[in-house]
């Protein structure tokens, strides 16, 4: 008998008044009882739409059916057929726009909490530490992967399982990409990412940190060192600014810098060597996950007031609904239909000269839809106002980094600097070079990057084997 409740089974959370003082995970995960309760909301549809909504077509009703039987190993196995990082995706996927948006239960009431169930299966799986996945005997082929975010980790893991010797080259001092330096601990704890990284190394993948491809070694060097294929999964993390006056004042950060200081360099701990501006009034510009994460991090660093300034309305906010809700609960003000026009610094005779003092903003209204159907925000003349701030965080997007493009001959890039690659084969314009994840799509999602990593592994396998037989096509 299905559970006919119209709402999702609530997930235990840290109470708001506690969580705003720490960086621990907000959502604590389903217990067995809660998972069973939620799993029985799934109607096990004959033609499940949720599967179509999932970017990697996870067999959702099947794994949920296994949860109902308390067959978590089987549930995990089913998820693993299409997904490499369930503990991560269960936590950070925008389910409300993917699988859950198609769930029939969502027509009347809330959809099944697919993300929470996925996380439950993955967390239980890890807490039991099951037998390692099978690894094929070494096939003698070497592949290089550039970047250790979800795309790189997944591709490396998949290739290692079928016998490849894979080396990941990572620019930073730790592996994990955005999952470690961008997404904060309270959404995605580091131990969850570390488990995935350890999983990949336990398959025999070698991860070399402190290796900037384009500087320490070039793509050509990798081929010279005997790698037969190179997978570029180096993300798109070059922060952009608005181009308004005052953006280089002290106290103005890119969201990447702010989050890197916190997540990667642990500026939230008691005695950090990496400093960060804390407290006071913080304004975050943007409406994506990055903006929400930065704002919520600012709250936890002790800011008295945090506002998110976004030029469209709440309906258009690209961030995950759940996180917007959390942000609101944590006291963050959402200033919608507003756009900064200037950042103003302190006067010359003020001791704080050089630091940002206020933001001048203008109100916006939504005009005609553009080609993509998104209504364009238009400034309303005469509505300018100024608000005092101590810190401004620019979370208006990132673009591609030029390092690899500049040092790799015959690699085609698009107008935005993204590497041009086929979405299915992941092949670029240069033979032997594959690419996927944010570096191809621009900033997207973890699941899309993970999905690309899987496709790339298949395509690389095909290419390397064909090449060894002397009939590789490009």
Ligand X SMILES: Cc1cc2nc3c(=O)[nH]c(=O)nc-3n(C[C@H](O)[C@H](O)[C@H](O)COP(=O)(O)OP(=O)(O)OC[C@H]3O[C@@H](n4cnc5c(N)ncnc54)[C@H](O)[C@@H]3O)c2cc1C
**Binding-site ranges for ligand X (CB under 6 A):** 92-93, 146-152, 169-172, 177-178, 182-183, 211-214, 233-235, 237, 259, 289-290, 293, 320, 401, 403-404, 437-439, 443-447, 449
DSSP 439: H
Q: Which of 79, 45, 234, 250 is closest to 144 using CA atoms? A: 234
Sheet with 206-208, side-by-side order of all strands:
206-208, 165-169, 142-146, 229-232, 433-435
The binder of 271, among ligand X, other proteins, none, by C-beta within 5 to 8 A per type, is other proteins
Residue from 98, 148, 154, 254 touching other proteins (CB under 8 A): that is 254
| Residue 231 DSSP label | E
283: three-class secondary structure by DSSP: strand
Among 33, 273, 349, 371, binds other proteins (CB under 8 A): 273
248 binds, among other proteins, ligand X, none (CB under 5 to 8 A by kind): other proteins
Segment near other proteins (CB under 8 A); pick from 57-65, 82-90, 242-250, 414-422:
242-250
Verify binding: residue 444, other proteins, rule CB under 8 A: no
- Residue 264 C-beta: closest distance to other proteins, Å: 8
Query: Which of other proteins, ligand X, none interacts with 260 (beta carbon under 5 to 8 A by kind)?
Result: other proteins
Q: Which of 303, 312, 182 is nearest to 239 (CA)?
A: 182
Least gap, CB of 265 to other proteins (angstroms): 7
461 binds, among ligand X, other proteins, none (CB under 5 to 8 A by kind): none
Q: Which is nearer to other proteins, 274 or 376 (CB)?
A: 274
Shortest CA distance to 360 belongs to which of 237, 244, 261, 253? Answer: 244
Q: Provide the residue count of the chain.
A: 474
What is the rounded distance in angstroms from the CA atom of residue 162 to the CA atom of residue 73?
Answer: 22
151 binds, among other proteins, ligand X, none (CB under 5 to 8 A by kind): ligand X
- Closest by CA to 78, choosing from 62, 95, 93, is 62
Asked if 436 and 427 count as a contact pair (C-beta separation under 8 A), the reply is no
- Which DSSP state fits 21? T
Please pick, from the candidates 36, 212, 344, 472, the single residue that binds other proteins as defined by CB under 8 A: 212
CA gap 384, 364 in Å, rounded: 10
Give the Cα separation of 122 and 193 in Å (integer).
Answer: 12
Task: Tell whether residue 242 is a contact of other proteins (CB under 8 A).
Answer: no
Number of residues engaging other proteins in binding (CB under 8 A): 39
* Nearest approach, Cβ of residue 216 and other proteins (Å): 5
CA distances from 371 to 122, 211, 336, 346 (A): 40, 41, 22, 41
CA dihedral 84, 292, 402, 190 (to 10 degrees): -40
Helices (H) and strands (E) in the chain, counts: 18, 16
Smallest distance from ligand X to CB 108, Å: 27
256 in contact with other proteins (CB under 8 A): yes
393 contacts other proteins (rule: CB under 8 A): no
Our CB check for other proteins shows the closer of 122 and 237 to be 237
> Taking CB under 8 A as the rule, does residue 197 contact other proteins?
no
| Rg of the chain (C-alpha set) | 23
String marking each residue 161-180 x if it binds other proteins according to CB under 8 A: ----------xxx-------
Residue among 57, 250, 425, 429 that touches other proteins (CB under 8 A) = 250
Which residues contact other proteins (rule: CB under 8 A)?
A: 171-173, 181, 209-212, 215-217, 237-239, 241, 247-251, 253-254, 256-257, 260-261, 264-266, 271-275, 353-354, 401-403
């Amino acid at each position: 008998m299905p559970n006919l409740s119209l709402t999702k089974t609530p997930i235990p959370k840290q109470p708001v008044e506690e969580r705003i003082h720490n960086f621990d995970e907000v959502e604590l995960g389903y217990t067995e009882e809660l998972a069973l309760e939620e799993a029985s909301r799934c109607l096990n549809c004959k033609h499940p739409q949720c599967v179509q909504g999932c970017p990697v077509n996870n067999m959702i009703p099947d794994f949920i059916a296994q949860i109902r039987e308390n067959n978590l190993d089987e549930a995990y196995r089913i998820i693993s057929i299409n997904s490499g990082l369930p503990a991560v995706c269960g936590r950070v996927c925008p389910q409300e726009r993917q699988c859950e948006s198609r769930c029939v239960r969502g027509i009347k009431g809330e959809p099944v909490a697919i993300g929470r169930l996925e996380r439950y299966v993955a967390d239980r799986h890890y807490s039991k530490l099951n037998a390692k996945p099978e690894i094929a005997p070494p096939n003698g082929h070497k592949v290089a992967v550039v970047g250790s975010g979800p795309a790189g980790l997944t591709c490396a893991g998949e290739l290692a399982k079928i016998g490849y010797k894979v080396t990941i080259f990572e620019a930073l001092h730790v592996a994990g990409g955005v999952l470690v330096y961008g997404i904060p601990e309270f959404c995605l704890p580091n131990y969850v990412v570390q488990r995935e990284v350890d999983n990949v190394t336990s398959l025999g993948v070698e991860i070399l940190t402190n290796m900037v491809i384009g500087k320490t070694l070039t793509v050509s060097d990798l081929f010279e060192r005997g790698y037969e294929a190179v997978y570029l999964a180096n993300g798109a993390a070059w922060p952009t600014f608005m181009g308004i006056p005052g953006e280089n004042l002290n106290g103005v950060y890119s969201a990447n810098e702010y989050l890197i200081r916190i997540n990667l360099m642990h500026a939230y701990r008691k005695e950090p060597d990496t400093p960060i501006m804390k407290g006071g009034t913080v304004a975050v510009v943007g409406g994506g996950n990055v903006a929400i994460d930065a704002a919520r991090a600012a709250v936890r660093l002790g800011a008295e007031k945090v506002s998110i300034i976004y030029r469209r309305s709440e309906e258009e906010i690209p961030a995950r609904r759940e996180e917007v809700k959390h942000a609101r609960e944590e006291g963050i003000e959402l200033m919608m239909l507003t756009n900064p026009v200037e950042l103003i610094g302190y006067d010359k005779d003020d001791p704080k000269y050089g630091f940002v003092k206020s933001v001048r903003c203008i109100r916006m209204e939504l005009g005609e839809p553009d080609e993509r159907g998104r209504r364009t925000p238009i400034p309303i003349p005469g509505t300018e106002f100024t608000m005092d701030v101590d810190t401004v965080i620019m979370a208006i997007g990132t673009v591609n980094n030029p390092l690899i493009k500049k040092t790799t001959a015959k690699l085609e890039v698009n107008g935005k600097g993204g590497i041009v690659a086929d979405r299915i084969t992941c092949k670029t314009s240069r033979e032997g070079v594959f690419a996927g994840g944010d570096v191809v799509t621009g900033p997207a999602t973890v699941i899309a990057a993970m999905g690309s990593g899987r496709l790339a592994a298949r395509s690389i396998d095909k290419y390397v084997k064909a090449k060894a037989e002397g009939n590789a096509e490009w």
